[in-house]
Amino acid sequence: MTGRTRILLILTALFVNGCALTLSGDKLEERSTHPLFSAKEHLETYAELDYPPGNIAVSPNGRVFFSFHPEGGAPIHIAELVSGRVLPYPDERTQEEQFQTPLSLRIDRQNRLWILDYASHGFGDVKLYAFDLDSNQMVHEFEFPRNIAGLGSMLNDFHVDADGKKIYIADTSVFSQNQAIVVYDTEKKKARRLLKKHASVRNGPYAVHINGNPFKVLGVFKLKFGVDSIALSRDGRWLYYASLNGGILYRIEVGALNDEKLSDKALGKRVEKFAEISLSDGIATDNSGNIYITDMENSAIHRVDSQGRLRTLFKDSEKLHWPDGFSFGPKGRLYFTDSALQKIIMKSKKQIKKNRPYYIYRFNPGFRATPGH
pLDDT of residue 13: 42
Answer yes or no: is 373 within a domain.
no
Nearest C-alpha neighbor of 273 from the set 252, 298, 302: 252
Q: Is the pLDDT of residue 227 over 70?
A: yes
Answer yes or no: is 23 within a domain.
yes
pLDDT of residue 211: 81
- What is the mean predicted confidence (pLDDT) over 149-161? 96
For residue 215, name the pLDDT band (cuts at 50, 70, 90).
Answer: confident
Helix residue spans in 15-122 (DSSP H): 39-42, 92-97, 119-122
pLDDT of residue 12: 44
For residue 217, name the pLDDT band (cuts at 50, 70, 90).
Answer: confident
Mean pLDDT rounded to a whole number for the chain: 91
Answer yes or no: is 371 within a domain.
no
Answer yes or no: is 145 within a domain.
yes
By residue count, the chain amounts to 373
Rounded distance, CA 234 to CA 240, Å? 11
pLDDT of residue 9: 46
For residue 256, name the pLDDT band (cuts at 50, 70, 90).
Answer: very high
Residue type, position 238, single letter: W
Q: What range defines the domain where residue 279 resides?
A: 3-363
Answer yes or no: is 368 within a domain.
no
Answer yes or no: is 237 within a domain.
yes
Nearest C-alpha neighbor of 110 from the set 166, 191, 189: 166
CB 139 within 8 A of CB 130: yes
For residue 15, name the pLDDT band (cuts at 50, 70, 90).
Answer: very low
Rounded distance, CA 373 to CA 371, Å? 6
Q: Is 269 helix (H, G, I), strand (E, B) or coil?
A: coil
pLDDT of residue 20: 57
Give residue-wise pLDDT tens across range 164-204.
999 999 999 988 889 999 999 999 999 999 999 899 999 88
Residue type, position 197, single letter: K
Residue 156 vs residue 219, higher pLDDT: 156
- State the number of CA atoms in the 13 A half-sphere of 334 facing the CB: 29
Give residue-wise pLDDT tens across range 22-58.
556 788 999 999 999 999 999 999 999 999 999 999 9
How many domains does one find in the chain?
Answer: 1
Q: Is 70 helix (H, G, I), strand (E, B) or coil?
A: helix
For residue 74, name the pLDDT band (cuts at 50, 70, 90).
Answer: very high
Residue 168 vs residue 96, higher pLDDT: 168
Cα end-to-end distance, the chain, whole Å = 30
Q: What is the DSSP letter of 220?
A: T
Rounded distance, CA 152 to CA 16, Å? 12
Answer yes or no: is 369 within a domain.
no
* Long-range Cβ contacts of 69-74 (<8 Å, 24+ apart): 69/103, 69/339, 69/341, 69/344, 70/3, 70/101, 70/102, 70/103, 70/120, 71/3, 71/341, 71/344, 71/345, 71/346, 72/3, 72/339, 72/344, 72/352, 72/358, 73/2, 73/3, 73/349, 73/352, 74/50
365: Cβ contacts below 8 Å, ≥ 6 apart: 286, 290, 292, 303, 313, 332, 334
Q: Is the pLDDT of residue 235 over 80?
A: yes
Answer yes or no: is 370 within a domain.
no
Lowest-pLDDT range of 247-251, 279-283, 367-371: 367-371
Percentage above 70 pLDDT, the chain:
93
Rounded distance, CA 131 to CA 134, Å? 9
CB 293 within 8 A of CB 303: yes
- What is the mean predicted confidence (pLDDT) over 344-352? 87
Nearest C-alpha neighbor of 333 from the set 44, 41, 82, 38: 44
pLDDT of residue 24: 62
> Would you call the peptide bond into 102 cis, given omega within 30 degrees of 0 as the criterion?
no
CATH number (domain holding residue 7): 2.120.10.30
Q: Is the pLDDT of residue 282 over 80?
A: yes
